[in-house]
């Protein structure tokens, strides 16, 4: 599985930890930056990762900023993206099982590295349930066309 990865300065350290973990687990990582802790703008990285996922160059994406909120909002502006901020295992599981989230957003300032890796592993290993949830996801995605 190919994972696009991105963070602003507020998520840089957790991005590096996640990148190492993903590589050790055999995932292919597309690191879209940032590459240091210099102040930068999270929308740039949210967009970069979202375009990789929406364009089919990555199977899924992981984004990190201070809280996960700003970078996920940015990613969700790209057509076809369902980015979910998850700070706990239950939310991570449900974001995949019911919402077919294709990007996981994490907050370095609110989620420790150990919990973040647990969330990531669960998120990567949970499949979309489909069924009645597919109907709901289809309706959610239709909003992009209706309100584009």
Active site residues: 65, 98
108's tokens: 């370095």
Question: Which H or E element spans position 22?
Answer: helix 12-24
Please give the sequence-ordered ranges of beta strands (E in DSSP) within the chain, or none if there are none. Answer: 2-7, 28-31, 60-65, 83-85, 103-107
Concatenated DSSP letters for 90-101? HHHHHHHHTT--
CA dist., res. 18 & res. 104, Å (int): 12
């Amino acid at each position: 599985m190919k994972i696009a990865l991105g963070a602003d300065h507020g998520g840089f350290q957790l991005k590096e930890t996640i990148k190492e973990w993903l590589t050790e687990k055999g995932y292919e990582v597309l690191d879209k930056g940032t590459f240091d802790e210099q102040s930068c703008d999270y929308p740039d990285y949210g967009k970069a990762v979202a375009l990789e996922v929406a364009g089919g160059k990555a199977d899924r994406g992981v984004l990190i900023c201070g809280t996960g909120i700003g970078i996920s909002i940015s990613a969700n502006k790209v057509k076809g993206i369902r980015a979910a901020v998850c700070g706990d295992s239950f939310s991570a599981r449900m974001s995949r099982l019911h919402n077919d989230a294709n990007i996981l957003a994490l907050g370095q300032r609110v989620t420790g590295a150990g919990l973040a890796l647990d969330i990531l592993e669960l998120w990567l290993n949970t499949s979309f349930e489909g069924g009645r949830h597919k109907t709901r996801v289809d309706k959610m995605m239709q909003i992009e066309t209706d309100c584009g």
